[in-house]
Amino acid sequence: MDAVTSGSGGARAIAFTGTWREYLPIAATNVLLTIVTLGIYRFWATARQRRYLWSRTEVIGDRLEWSGTGKEMFVGFLIVMAILLPFFLFVQFLFPALIARGKETAAVGIFSLFYMGLIYLGGFARFRALRYRLSRTWWRGIRGGSDEPGWNYGGEYLGRMALTLMTLFIVWPWAATRLWNGRWNHMSFGPLAFRTNLDADGLKRRWAAVYLVPIAAMVVMMLLAIPVGASIVGGSEEASPGLMVLLGAVFLLFYLIIPLMTLHWYAKFYRKAADSLSLGGLEFGFDARTRDWLKLFLGNIALAVVTLGFGLAFWGYRNWSFMVRHMHLYGEVNVSDLTQSSTHAPGEAEGLADAFDIGAI
């Protein structure tokens, strides 16, 4: 048997076979042990969670395997802390010291440099987290990885982020797509390189909507607010319900309309991004729409609320199964070509990404 073909006979090439009943004991003991170790167990908890989720993910007839350990993630975290903590403490003292001496400009300068350093490390960490996850993911005894250490990516990330901030996020579709390419074009599985050439075509309109819909909403609200404003100027007692309406409108804008429009954009971004990705003869696809994402997030929140917080332990499970259920694989893998990865297996885990709390994709 030289090639396995995806999607033959109507079966999905990638499928999630886990059940919440099976995962419940893992989630429960993870929560228990994380509490009694004052949080230290969370690295081992993450490893157990991933071992389960990966092993219940079938890719073209074979299960994935996660080989990362809690110990290596913990050590990665310690290394990052040993580097970052003195830095944080130094800035924490330097900043008030400069303010107290009336050197506000120097203080602002130091802080800007500090934040630039943080953004650089954030980009570096995202790259390393992806590389680490691939290097610990096995399929048919073969793993992924990357030969790039990620330092260059950190620089690219800082530059594109700076440009994005300077243009008030207008160029974000271009920056985000280039950064996606910058990460994935350096990743590989076995001897096969991931290839992607994502561009901003078809993403610009949704990004414009992130700006325009809130503005339109604001105009509508302003028109509605004219009678309210009049009642406030009138100085009557009835002003307070009017003010409540106004506050409600602002709340709506910032907590509902803007996040929704951003989600609307990201839904398309991830569909396009996955479509652009290939690995050897395999093409990827992703079909989650905005309402699917919304259902996932609202479901997560509802679950956490009705279980008084315990449901948080199921967020990772729900997110992973969501990703797998919406992912597609097309094409075929020539198994005899798929030999072991020669990339270096990074040992320091994703401590950096953990420290900054950055997600996978």
> Which stretch, 95-103, 206-214, 242-250, 311-319, contacts other proteins (CB under 8 A)?
95-103
Question: Which two three-digit tokens encode residue 279?
Answer: 């690995």
95, 107 in Cβ contact below 8 A?
Answer: yes
Give least dist CB 41 to other proteins, A. 8
Q: Is the dihedral of CA 31, 32, 36, 42 positive or negative?
A: negative
Q: Which is nearer to other proteins, 92 or 240 (CB)?
A: 92
> Which stretch, 35-43, 161-169, 200-208, 304-312, contacts other proteins (CB under 8 A)?
35-43
**Angstrom distance (rounded) from CA 206 to CA 261:** 8
> How many residues in the shown chain lie near other proteins by CB under 8 A?
46
Place of tokens 């990638």: 14
Q: Hey, which residues does 63 pair with through a beta bridge? A: 58
Amino acid at 197: N
Q: Which is nearer to other proteins, 111 or 211 (CB)?
A: 111
111 binds other proteins (CB under 8 A): yes
| Residue from the set 70, 117, 281, 331 that interacts with other proteins by CB under 8 A | 70
| Residue from the set 256, 340, 342, 344 that interacts with other proteins by CB under 8 A | 340
**Angstrom distance (rounded) from CA 183 to CA 190:** 17
Look at residue 327 and give its three-state secondary structure.
Answer: strand
Q: Which is nearer to other proteins, 92 or 236 (CB)?
A: 92
**Angstrom distance (rounded) from CA 242 to CA 232:** 8
166 binds other proteins (CB under 8 A): no
131, 148 in Cβ contact below 8 A?
Answer: yes
Closest CA to 42 of 61, 54, 27, 21: 27
Look at residue 103 and give its three-state secondary structure.
Answer: coil
Print the binding letters for residues 204-233 with other proteins: x by CB under 8 A, - otherwise: ------------------------------
Q: How far is CA 308 from CA 41, 208, 296, 305, in A?
A: 21, 38, 18, 5
28 binds other proteins (CB under 8 A): no
Site for other proteins in 274-333 (CB under 8 A): 333
29 binds other proteins (CB under 8 A): yes
For 167-206, the DSSP string reads: TTTTTHHHHHHHHHHHHHTT-EETTEEEE----STTTHHH
| Residue from the set 19, 20, 62, 252 that interacts with other proteins by CB under 8 A | 62
| Residue from the set 17, 19, 20, 101 that interacts with other proteins by CB under 8 A | 101
Amino acid at 55: S
69 binds other proteins (CB under 8 A): yes
| Residue from the set 102, 201, 223, 357 that interacts with other proteins by CB under 8 A | 102
| Residue from the set 9, 10, 21, 36 that interacts with other proteins by CB under 8 A | 36
Q: Which is nearer to other proteins, 151 or 310 (CB)?
A: 310
Look at residue 283 and give its three-state secondary structure.
Answer: strand
Give least dist CB 287 to other proteins, A. 27
Q: How far is CA 26 from CA 56, 138, 205, 236, in A?
A: 14, 21, 43, 60
Give least dist CB 101 to other proteins, A. 5
Chain contacts with other proteins (rule: CB under 8 A): 1, 29, 32-33, 36-38, 44, 47-48, 51, 55, 62, 65, 69-71, 88-89, 91-93, 95-97, 99-102, 107-108, 111, 138-143, 190, 333, 335-336, 338-340, 345
